[in-house]
Every structure is written in structure tokens, then in C-alpha cells.
């Protein structure tokens, strides 16, 4: 599976958009980009996934560059409850989690 | 739907004892995954099943670890004998063949 690189931590003001980057320069054609998050000690929670096209759901938007070597997860209006570790995973199927980005949303 | 149900939520045991962790998948989900999470190693995939059959157990750390799925509604992860370094949070996750993994709330295992 392709390796991903994420910043270890980010801050975001409540109400602002949180943009979380992920590099996956060795991604293969059949590999999807997945985003999960883990709030405190709960089980990871699915956010969104995509292959080539940008995707949006009720939680977030996923922007994938045309060459698919990087992506950005966008939380349009971050709240305190969005404070969590966010994982970007690239895989055709089974999910191997890296160290993720710890997002801290502050008031 | 109640989601993925894991039991117990917490387990404290002494070194050398057998430990059994349990998972009830979401009905209709035919993939089941076991993960382990520690501060040092993060989230590690241990094993996964498809239609009750183990497909990939390459992440199982040692022979002391074994996992079974006797039917579509139940899976166990057993550690025998347990050691302090097995202390971790163990997560079960299931999937219906789509792209979304649903995780349980985990079992926090402490081996003294």
C-alpha cells in the first residue's frame, strides 16, 4: 500500500475551515484515498473516501489533485467536537493506519 | 443498528493468563477486522476475515495470538498466555464489502 505523509498537528479556530493535507506520491491506480478520524479513545470513524474525483458529504469535502499525489480534507466549519486525530489512508482495500494529524480546534 | 459490539470494555489480567476478546459484527457485514492500538505502535491491523474465513493474518504478532470467527455474528481474539506488552486497546471493525469500516468502541486490555 502507498505511504502517506501528514503533518503531526494542526490548529484551527472554531467556525473556520480546517484544511488537512496529505501527500501520497506513490499512489497506484487502484488505490482509494480514505479519511478517518479518532476522537479521544473511541474507535476510528469514517469520514470520506475518493478515487479520482473530489467528493463531498455531510461531514467534509475531499479534494484530490489531478495527479492523485496529494489530497486535502476540508471541514468547512470546524467545531470543538472536531478535535481529533485525522488519518489519511491510501489503499485498494485493507486499511493500514499511519500516525495521522492531531487537529485541535480552539474557541 | 447497534453497531459493532465489543466485550468486555475493560479487561485486567495477570501475566500468563488467557484472555478472550469478543466482537459482534453489524448484521450483514461480511468482512471483520481486528486492530490493536498502542502509543508506541499506533493502530495495527492484526487479522481480517471474509465470510468467516481468515484471509490475512500477517499482522498477528505471535503464536500466542489466535482469532476465530465461528459464525457470521461472532468473532474472538484470544491471547494465551498474555504478557504485559500485550496491553493495548483492541478494536474490531466490520465492513459490508463497500468502502466504509465501522469500528467498535474497543476493549482496553491491561496485563500486569
Q: pLDDT, tens digit, for every residue of A29-55? A: 889 999 999 998 899 999 999 999 999
Record the cell numbers describing residue B80, joined without a space.
494465551
- Closest Cα of chain A to B102: distance in Å? 7
Q: Give the model's pLDDT for residue B1.
A: 66
* CB neighbour burial string for B59-79, b if at least 16 within 10 angstroms, e if fewer: bbeeeebebebeeeeebebeb
Among chain A residues, CA nearest to B46: A96
> What distance separates the 2 farthest-apart alpha carbons in chain A?
41
Helices and strands in chain A, H and E counts: 0, 9
Euclidean distance between CA atoms A106 and A11, whole angstroms: 7
Q: What percentage of chain A reaches a pLDDT higher than 70?
A: 98
Beta pairing partners, A18: A75
Answer yes or no: is pLDDT of B96 > 90: no
- The pLDDT, as a whole number, for residue A41 is 83
State the DSSP code for A44.
Answer: P
Give bridge partners of residue B49 from the DSSP assignment. Answer: B32, B54
Cell 470546524 -> residue? A78
pLDDT exceeds 90 at position A94: no
Q: Which spans in chain B are helix H?
A: none
Query: Using a CB-CB distance cutoff of 8 angstroms, which residues of chain A are in contact with residue B4?
Result: 43
User: Residue B91: its pLDDT value, please?
Assistant: 98
Instruction: Name the maximum alpha-carbon separation found in chain B.
Output: 40
Mean pLDDT of B98-109: 93
Closest-CA distance, B79 to chain A, in angstroms, reads 21
Cβ contact, residue pair A43, B33, below 8 Å: no
Amino acid at each position: 500500500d502507498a505511504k502517506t505523509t501528514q503533518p503531526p498537528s494542526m490548529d484551527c479556530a472554531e467556525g473556520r475551515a480546517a484544511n488537512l493535507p496529505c501527500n501520497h506520491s506513490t499512489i497506484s491506480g487502484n488505490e482509494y484515498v480514505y479519511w478517518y478520524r479518532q476522537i479521544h479513545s473511541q474507535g476510528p470513524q469514517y469520514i470520506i473516501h475518493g478515487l479520482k474525483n473530489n467528493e463531498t458529504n455531510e461531514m467534509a469535502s475531499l479534494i484530490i489533485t489531478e495527479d492523485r499525489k496529494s489530497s486535502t480534507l476540508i471541514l468547512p466549519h470546524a467545531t470543538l467536537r472536531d478535535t481529533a486525530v485525522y488519518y489519511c489512508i491510501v489503499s485498494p482495500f485493507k486499511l493500514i493506519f499511519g500516525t495521522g494529524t492531531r487537529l485541535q480546534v480552539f474557541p | 443498528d447497534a453497531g459493532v459490539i465489543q466485550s468486555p470494555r475493560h479487561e485486567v489480567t495477570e501475566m500468563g493468563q488467557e484472555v478472550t476478546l469478543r466482537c459482534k459484527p453489524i448484521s450483514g457485514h461480511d468482512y471483520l477486522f481486528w486492530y490493536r492500538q498502542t502509543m508506541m505502535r499506533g493502530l495495527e491491523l492484526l487479522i481480517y476475515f471474509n465470510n468467516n474465513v481468515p484471509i490475512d493474518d500477517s499482522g498477528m504478532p505471535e503464536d500466542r495470538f489466535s482469532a476465530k470467527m465461528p459464525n457470521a455474528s461472532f468473532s474472538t481474539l484470544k491471547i494465551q498466555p498474555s504478557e504485559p506488552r500485550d496491553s493495548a486497546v483492541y478494536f474490531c471493525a466490520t465492513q459490508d464489502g463497500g468502502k466504509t469500516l465501522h469500528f467498535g468502541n474497543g476493549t482496553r486490555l491491561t496485563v500486569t
